[in-house]
Chains A and B, each alone.
Chain A
Amino acid sequence: MLDTLRQLTRVCGMAVAALWAYRLRSAFVVAAIALGIASLTVIVASIDGAERKARQIVEMFGPDTAFVLGGDIESRAVGQRTLTLSYEDARRIRAELPGVYLVVPMRARSNVTVYFGDRRMDLPIAVGSTAGYAEVWNWPLAEGRDFSEEDVERGAKVALIGDTPARELFGDASPLGFTILVDKLPVQIIGRLAYRGVAGMGPPVDDRIILPITTLTQRFNLDRKYFRALRVKFSDPENMAFHVENLRSLLRRLHNLAPGDKDDFTILTAEEILKFLSMFKGGLLLFLGITAAVAMVVGGFVLANLFYLSVSERRTEIGLKKALGAKSRAILQQFLAEAVGLTLIGALFGMILGMGMGKLLERLEILQILFSWKVFIYSVAAAVAIGLLFGLKPARQAAALPPVEALKGV
């Protein structure tokens, strides 16, 4: 056992010496392998990134929540009415649908500007909310308090501020108790939302200000009867499919839709969003997977080629070593060690390259990237596999050379 270990150490030492002696050739193999590993790194990292994003979305959305949008999103382009959800709908759902514990109508006004002193910031959205915004959206407050029933009932001029505008207007100081202008409406800040920072599709989520829904409707002249979306929370998330079907048939009844009519609303659940994301992930996996596989196979063939060359060029060395007492196994081990050594160095460079590429893709907002030990382990495993797979044949050929043949072959 100890002897075997010592033998392996010595063989590895010889492999290192040979790799260094033929360093130009080694560099080619390293480069070829590095490209393959780089693409593998990007794939694993971006798939992990997509998965993390999916988890964040579900977390934000809540597994117990259905999201009802006015209008059928599939045919919205045709110019269908999107304002189909009324306060009456919300009230009836709350009263009649079993398992519902919260119904939150949502309204929003896009493109508002907030002012404080001489500072200003344009925000993509001002959200109208009923009592308990933080609870409903699973979005903790960094400080201050949430909207109360009373705030909503009397249309109080109060607001929750998102993390980005809070920093923009107040720097590191607390915004609590200060009065800012939302367009022309002065409101007092009663709470600051925690930083959420999910980037990606759509505008950054932290760029927002939240007002009581009544305040938003009255002060910004929005339609008082209809709203754009409705958030419904159920007490047992296990039966979401069942609840969603109930919700659908209730809404169809409330909207007086005949059996053949299309829904004039759209129900989204976390599950549905996940379905979309896993489709996206599948596409990513296929596309990048093929790219990486091709790159790795190319790298493998470069390795195999240069090793065949190496074996024929180093016949004398092989014959000599056998004459001096090397067993076939020792020769095989040396050539495999050389192959795996090179692919491991290639993996190292490939990971560095891949991380660089990943960071670039992330900066260009093409993909979200998550680096982990998984990337490292996959890369190393792939490198060893390539080394063994493509190095085995040339190494076997070298080991099988009879000493006298190898010595003669000069």
Chain B
Amino acid sequence: MSGAEALIRLEGMTKTYLQGELTVEVLKGIDLQIAAGEFVALQGPSGSGKSTLMHLLGLLDRPSAGRYWLQGEDVAGLGDDRLSELRNRLIGFLFQTFYLVPYLSALENVVLPGLYSPGSARHLRHRAEELLVQVGLGDRLHFKPTQLSGGQQQRVALARALVNDPQVLLADEPTGQLDSATSAEIMELIASIHRQGRTVVLVTHDAPTAACAERSIFLQDGRVVHA
């Protein structure tokens, strides 16, 4: 696969943190490629660096060294504003702890990414309502996060991740705080998002969850052990 074909391509990506006097190398040179439309699980024990890798993939953080092409664009050296734009347009996020704004309703939370992009407000609201109906929360548009169960909150987050119609969904342990029945429902929703043609990268340490993906990338000690 060449760089132009892959949606995501990393070359020799490292990430080091300074902990007091100590330099900790969390990622020790990652090479990997993910094609458009793939469903990839990023697996590994805790401390293997998979969350750090996901933050780098999601442009939430910058690598210490190495290169990163996203949709053929070299993004390793881009400025903050440009990164914000790319995140806004290309990437949807799911987090383990949902990260809903507590004082906003479900609908207002879903609308949020759209407020930072140029689309019209009416269209945005319409799309947000549609997505909430799709994830089964059509009757809870105006509920605050605290009035929703964990599974419902993650559904709101899922709708929010899709509101700007991104290419990529990055999910960081999306079922980590949910019971198994609810987890299965969320995974089914994520699988359906993949079936719509989106690229999904799922970070998990849980093998059954990873089984939903087409391909697994294993991380250990800051390196890809087998892909």
- Total number of B residues with any Cβ neighbor in A under 8 Å: 29
In angstroms, how far is the closest chain B Cβ from the Cβ of A10? 5
Instruction: Evaluate contact between A323 and B112: CB separation under 8 angstroms.
Output: no
Residues of A within 8 A of B99 (CB): 316, 320, 323, 407
Alpha-carbon distance between A325 and B112 when the two chains are bound, in angstroms: 9
Alpha-carbon distance between A328 and B81 when the two chains are bound, in angstroms: 7
Is B95 at the interface (CB under 8 A from chain A)?
A: yes
Alpha-carbon distance between A267 and B80 when the two chains are bound, in angstroms: 75
Is A394 at the interface (CB under 8 A from chain B)?
A: no
Is A402 at the interface (CB under 8 A from chain B)?
A: yes
Alpha-carbon distance between A320 and B108 when the two chains are bound, in angstroms: 14
A314 (CB) vs chain B CBs: closest residue: B101
Instruction: Evaluate contact between A323 and B116: CB separation under 8 angstroms.
Output: no
Known interface pairs A323-B87, A324-B87, A325-B116; A18-B80 also in contact (CB < 8 Å):
no
Known interface pairs A14-B115, A404-B60; A326-B84 also in contact (CB < 8 Å):
yes
A-B contact count (CB 8 A): 67
In angstroms, how far is the closest chain A Cβ from the Cβ of B113? 4
Instruction: Evaluate contact between B60 and A327: CB separation under 8 angstroms.
Output: no
A328 (CB) vs chain B CBs: closest residue: B80
Instruction: Evaluate contact between B60 and A325: CB separation under 8 angstroms.
Output: no
Instruction: Evaluate contact between A321 and B112: CB separation under 8 angstroms.
Output: yes
A406 (CB) vs chain B CBs: closest residue: B60
Residues of B within 8 A of A402 (CB): 60-61
Known interface pairs A316-B99, A320-B99, A325-B89; A10-B84 also in contact (CB < 8 Å):
no
Alpha-carbon distance between A316 and B58 when the two chains are bound, in angstroms: 17
Q: Which of B55, B101, B113, B116 lies in contact with A404, CB distance below 8 A?
A: B55
Residues of B within 8 A of A316 (CB): 99
A20 (CB) vs chain B CBs: closest residue: B103
Instruction: Evaluate contact between A326 and B95: CB separation under 8 angstroms.
Output: no
Instruction: Evaluate contact between A324 and B112: CB separation under 8 angstroms.
Output: yes
Contacting residues of chain B (57-71) with chain A, CB-CB under 8 angstroms: 58, 60-61
Q: Which of A317, A323, A325, A410 lies in contact with B117, CB distance below 8 A?
A: A325
Is A330 at the interface (CB under 8 A from chain B)?
A: yes
Residues of B within 8 A of A173 (CB): none
Instruction: Evaluate contact between A18 and B103: CB separation under 8 angstroms.
Output: yes
Is B127 at the interface (CB under 8 A from chain A)?
A: no
Instruction: Evaluate contact between B84 and A325: CB separation under 8 angstroms.
Output: yes
Of the A-B pairs whose beta carbons lie under 8 Å apart in the complex, a sample of 29, sorted by A's number, is A10-B121, A17-B103, A17-B104, A18-B103, A21-B103, A316-B99, A320-B99, A321-B116, A323-B60, A323-B87, A323-B93, A323-B99, A324-B87, A324-B112, A324-B116, A325-B85, A325-B88, A325-B113, A325-B117, A326-B84, A326-B116, A327-B80, A328-B84, A329-B81, A402-B60, A403-B61, A404-B55, A407-B60, A407-B95
Interfacial residues, chain A to chain B (CB-CB below 8 A): 3, 6-7, 10, 13-14, 17-18, 20-22, 316-317, 320-330, 402-404, 407, 410
Closest 4 CB pairs of A and B: A325-B88, A21-B103, A324-B113, A404-B60
